[in-house]
Structure 1
């Protein structure tokens, strides 16, 4: 045992990555944050590191090169990631974007809060809701590492 939660953030803005990291530390110090600068970087990592299996993925909606919706669709094509929760993370509150993300396999959609405290609270709520899924992913990781 002893596997910590691994959370991936796909976010092109360095300041937003730092803010997310601080908020995540406020939820738990036992969470590893892995970042990708954009959707193409994230997909490349998943394809290159076939054993990489995060417990959850947060994706910014508005990014250059490959936007969040496109990244989500590519992630859902990767078999080992089909059950990994993907949370869209954006300043955009357009209901059609939310509906499209959910239709393409997003688990949830959160609006980027204006304070670190509010973001910490949002992440904590998502983690609490997803704990059974995290337990299943941890069991899968442990099973694969014992082979």
Structure 2
């Protein structure tokens, strides 16, 4: 499935910049980055942003990705938004836990820019 409005929730602005560069190389979708998961949750609940898909980091200081998943799944409309975990973690237990909490998929952050572009091509409308 291809998505047009992408939200990335990640406290690392460098990771968000790299994600955006790779995204722009493969598509012209609408992209929003929010560095604070609590702010992202508030904006989603208040319909200030309405993404088609969310890329979510797990390791954030204010609210973890798992805590965010738990909260978003409580809302009847928000729970339908696909959430892709986009994290440095590669532990099987963490991947399984994220999927149990409702994540659609789990992507380990690649070190290679071209690999990231290829991953994103699976989720976005290509130009």
What is the TM-score when the length of structure 1 is the normalising length? 0.78
Q: Is the 8 A contact 1:53 1:80 kept in 2?
A: no
Correspondence for 1:64: 61
Q: Distance in 1 between matches of 2:52 and 2:37?
A: 18
Aligned residues: 123
Q: Distance in 2 between matches of 1:43 and 1:37?
A: 11
What is the TM-score when the length of structure 2 is the normalising length? 0.89
Deviation at 1:73, TM superposition (A): 1.3
CA RMSD of aligned residues (A): 1.6
The structure with the largest alpha-carbon Rg is 1
- Please identify runs of 4+ aligned residues in structure 1 that moved more than 3 A: none
Describe the superposition over 1:46-96 as per-residue Cα deviations: whole angstroms up to 9, x where unpaired: 12336x321100001110110111111111112212221100000100000
Residue 122 (str. 1) matches residue 119 (str. 2) = yes
Q: Is the 8 A contact 2:4 2:124 kept in 1?
A: no
Deviation at 1:109, TM superposition (A): 0.2
Deviation at 1:27, TM superposition (A): 2.1
Correspondence for 2:47: 49
Higher helix proportion:
1
Q: Distance in 2 between matches of 1:59 and 1:115?
A: 19
Gaps of 5+ in 2: none
Q: Map 1:24-43; keep pairs closer than 5 Å.
A: 24-29=23-28, 31-43=29-41
